[in-house]
Structure 1
Amino acid sequence: MAETDETRDDEETTDVAVQEPTAEASDEDQPLDLKVDIEKPSACERHVSVTVSRADIDRYLDDAYSAMMPNAAVPGFRAGRAPRKLVEQRFKTEVVDQVKGSLLMDSLTQISKEGSFAAISEPDLNLEAVELPDDGPLTFEFDIEVRPDFDLPKWKGLKLKQPKHEFTDEDIDSNLKQTLGRYGQLVPHDGAAAEDDYITANVTCKADGKVVSEDEELVLRIRENLSFTDARLEGFAKLMTGAKSGEKKNATVTVGPNAPNEELRGKDVEVEFEVVEIKKLKLPELTEDFLQEIGNFESEGALREAVKQNLERQLEYAQQQQARGQITELLTESATWDLPPGLLKRQNARELERAIMELRRSGFSESEIRARENTLRQNSAESTAKALKEHFILERIAEDEGIDVEDGDFEKEIFLMSMQSGESPRRVRAQLEKRGLMDVLRNQIVERKVMEAVQAEANFTEEPYNATKDDTEAVQLAVGGRGAEIPQAVDKQEEEAAAEE
């Protein structure tokens, strides 16, 4: 278990530093005489009550005072010459705090090593409530989240389906157009809007006539569907086709069950699009300078080969995801244990980050990632629960098979992500480290290796690959607002009346 700031004591008094006992003095190899009672509120929760014997408390106190004696400074005595009883009286508070911290830390370490459970969080321990008694044993208790105990399902010999596809020139042409679109220029258009055009729009969202969310001059590509962070508008292209500058278009969407604004979950919201401007995308010409600028390509043929490789990476991603989905269903059939709500809530963001990193290393564009990200957000509770159960099972397989991260694994993953983002591997790594995501990346690598091991033992049946159609535009706007995180919704008429006053 990780050492916490609360369980360390490095304080100094003006008279003497309270030193940690040496290995000889503390006899640290001698285990504590602990009585540990473990209750199981749920599969992933443990309530632990610990009793430390009086003999261990006295031993730790004796070690602490013995380590202090050679340097203890007591008024009226030379350093190290004061009687032990005076030293004990003068430094009792400091030593008791030090010993309490040491006993708690060593107790937690010993419980962890004894393997009664596999912790997945820090213990919820109220240090201030723990007191070292003058007589009798020390008792304390804590709650902790743990990996559930379960029988590992049979994972060798699974029957799986795998998509196969040979990419054609038509596939490459279509994807090349999407790739060039990232470098295109939006030019104003005077006529009516058509599918794949872009509109600049002011978006206003109302619930029961009150504005709950709005944004100005959003640039939206007209695609079949529009994905908000908490809702999805089907038929967006049909709604906007034929629209002209200055016109308003309205639609109704239903706020998702995992929306940030809990009050509007499952309710309808009216969305108004005020079209400010219509634009068309002008693709760049494949000049020698442009080819060099976007990737040092020597020719259009080299660019097309890179596009083909990217398509193959996306096919590999689809193969992995389909296999993973099948494996997850098969392995988690018997995983009927419940997960603590607090664990699920904390894990939501981590699971989203993991999924986004997987998409980046597989070469998906930022617009595709945003669309999938919104979908993941809207189904976060269900997907996170399944992903956590899958993680516990894959973790067990990794331990049994000795699967772990090797030298170069991190560099390979970071390089693939840097290719998608266009940033240097060093910058991508620095961003991951700054956001504390290196452990997420490690889990991703280990889980992929386990999946490869499972697939190596599986029996596959090939089937045609149907690539996911890129028909969704994504926008980082919550139609239902963010509840307490945003200003209170105000009716437009009330807003105008207040302004007049």
Structure 2
Amino acid sequence: MSETAEQTLPESTFSIEEAGAARKRIKVEVPAERIKAKIEEAYSELQRDAVLPGFRRGRAPKRLIEKRFGGDLKQTVKQQLVAEAYEQAIAKNSLEAIGEPEIDLSKVELPESGAMTFALEVEVTPEFTLPSIEKVAVKKPKLEANEERLNLAVDNLRKHFGHWHDSTEPVKETDTVVADVKVVGEDGAVVTEQPGVTLAVKAGNIAGVRFEDLGDKLKGSKINDLIKLEGTAPADHPEEKVRGKKLSIEITIKGVKHMHLPEVNQDFAQMLGFENVDGLKKDLHDRLVVQLEQETKNAMAQQIYRYLLQNTNLELPAKLSQRQMGNVLRRRALDLMQKGVPEAEIVQHIDELRISSAQQAAVDLRLFFIMSKLATGFGINVEQEEVNGRLVQLAEQYGQRPEKLARQLQQNGQMEQLYLQVRDGKVVDAVLAQAEITEVDEKTLAEEFKNLPPLANIGPNVTAVSHSNK
């Protein structure tokens, strides 16, 4: 259909209704004349290309084409009209759709005569007001690259080059345990059995249940010991049938792994490309200074996030929050990569986070909308060079070529998260530029952080970072 002919057709009409938090219901009426023109156009195109027995291409009678292809053709026209109307409704009503429209096409009928009516629902960017960002009170921790931190960096380096070996001694805090895990439900039925599970001797998750005392339970145990735990599956447990129910966990110790750490001496330093131990420690010190600068900024950023969450009244579309869970996991993995956490530990962290990803998804989604609105207000843009620069930093930390890491991030769906990480960093910088910053002792701030509610509980009525009225 030509553009001129298209413009002469009567347009579809729309009405928009609220359908919940950040959700709209769009009612559509497609005029009969428009339907008829679209069907005739589809038949003309099909008649031009159709090949039926006994007829040359483009010569088959319309009645035979209708008999042979009519049903499929009308289904196609119906889908085209729905898609066309949806796009027009979004554009004409300036809606910022953030999800796919929800509609059951099987319940939409293409009438033999008269207008076609249907309704669909779509999630949209929520409307909200940003809090004042002038003179937000932020505490800056004094982090020093002291001897204690340098020794810890040396120990971490030793662990990186350490190797595990089997041990017959009782389990120590620095060991890992290989065990068979059996999970039994309230009714005595076995929920799952997992052989050869590797457990760190610290608080952790087993079968989707968090055990803060896991490390204490494992310490001192020996091969073939049986450890029993009792817990309750969380409401968002991956296995729906056990949600909110008590579980019994049996851990049978099958092996103990102890790490042998290399000595920090001349040979160790030269293996890493340094002339001596002093050169190695100087390099670690320089890296530690950079790391602490990033940790300082992260500590202040967390206060900004907490202030924004506490002071922004923002309702989320429920279904979008569920879809956001995957993004939460990808973003957390990227954050851990940025901190230089080894890949094996990242996998462990992500498995633990998967349990609480529903709550974290809501927090991340609220922050996404808040930070997006702030970025627009500040006129912040992210150039590809900035994303590439962050990519190079990550690649250096993991000893990979940037091109290889880029492919890995693309495959894992993390490139968008890398972009958002850069953008959010620039937004935080802009807020901090007009904040009231006070330097405090790191232990004092750490103690304050311990007493604050989790970000998942932060809402308009939850106490968080104060806003200065000076």
User: TM-score w.r.t. structure 2 length?
Assistant: 0.78
What whole-Å deviation, never above 9, does each CA across 1:466-496 have from its counterpart, x for those lacking one?
A: 5989xxxxxxxxxxxxxxxxxxxxxxxxxxx
Partner of 2:406: 429
Cα distance between partner residues in 1 of 2:338 and 2:144: 21
Matches within 5 A, 1:102-501: 102-208=80-186, 209-223=188-202, 225-228=203-206, 230-285=208-263, 300-301=277-278, 303-308=280-285, 311-312=288-289, 314-316=291-293, 318-333=295-310, 335-366=312-343, 369-370=346-347, 372-466=349-443
1:52 aligns with 2:43: no
Deviation readout 1:26-55 (Å, 9 max, x if unpaired) = 45xx79623211221212222211112344
C-alpha separation in 2, matches of 1:344 and 1:58: 41
Alignment coverage as a number of residue pairs: 445
Rounded to whole Å, the distance in 1 between the matches of 2:302 and 2:366 is 13
8 Å contact from structure 1 (residues 257, 378) kept in 2 = no
Q: SS of the counterpart of 2:384?
A: coil
8 Å Cα contact 2:170-2:219 kept in structure 1: yes
**Whole-angstrom distance in 2 between the partners of 1:77 and 1:261:** 59
CA contact (8 A) 1:188 1:280 kept: yes
* Structure 1 residue 289: Cα displacement: 7.7
- 1:29-48 correspondence to structure 2 within 5 Å: 33-48=11-26
Answer whether contact 1:26 1:60 (CA < 8 A) is retained: no
The amino acid of 1:446's aligned partner reads R
1:120-146 alpha-carbon deviations (Å, 9 max, x no partner)? 111113334434434332322211111
**Mapped partners of 2:112, 2:199: distance in 1:** 70
Letter in 1 for 2:111: P
CA separation of 1:234 and 1:96: change in aligned 2, threshold 3 A: closer
Percent identical: 29
Aligned position for 1:17: none
Q: Any gaps of 5 or more consecutive residues in structure 2?
A: 448-470
Report if aligned partners of 1:252, 1:268 keep a CA contact under 8 Å in 2: yes
C-alpha distance in structure 2 between counterparts of 1:31 and 1:309, whole Å: 70
Following superposition, the deviation at residue 350 of structure 1 comes to 1.3
| Structure 1 residues 278 and 131: CA distance shift in structure 2, 3 A | closer
Query: Which residue is 1:5 aligned to?
Result: none
Structure 1 pair 62/303, CA: closer, same or farther in 2 (3 Å)? farther
Displacement of 1:349? 2.1
Deviation per residue, 1:168-208 (Å, 9 max, x gap): 13212112212321221223444333332333333333344
Say if 2:162 and 2:262, in contact at 8 Å, map to a contact too. yes
Q: Is the 8 A contact 1:187 1:282 kept in 2?
A: yes
Partners of 1:136 and 1:302 in 2: CA distance: 84
How far 1:407 moved relative to its partner?
Answer: 1.6
In 1, the alpha carbon distance for the partners of 2:52 and 2:166 equals 85
SS in 2 for 1:218: strand
Q: TM-score, normalised by structure 1?
A: 0.74
After superposition, the C-alpha distances for 1:373-399 in whole angstroms (9 at most, x for unaligned) are 355334323222122112112112222
One-letter amino acid of the structure 1 residue matched with residue 433 of structure 2: A
Q: Relative to structure 1, is the Cα distance of residues 461 and 229 closer, same or farther in structure 2, using a 3 angstrom cutoff? A: farther
Contact in 2 for aligned 1:364/1:420 (Cα 8 Å): no
**Aligned partner of 1:457: which letter?**
Q
Q: Is the 8 A contact 1:227 1:371 kept in 2?
A: no
Distance apart, 1:167 and its partner CA? 0.9
CA gap 1:76/1:236 in 2 versus in 1, 3 angstroms: closer
- Per the alignment, residue 481 of structure 1 pairs with none
Residue identity in the other structure for 2:194:
D
Superposed CA offset, 1:243-300 (max 9, x none)? 3333333343443333223443444434333333434321134578866776x55654
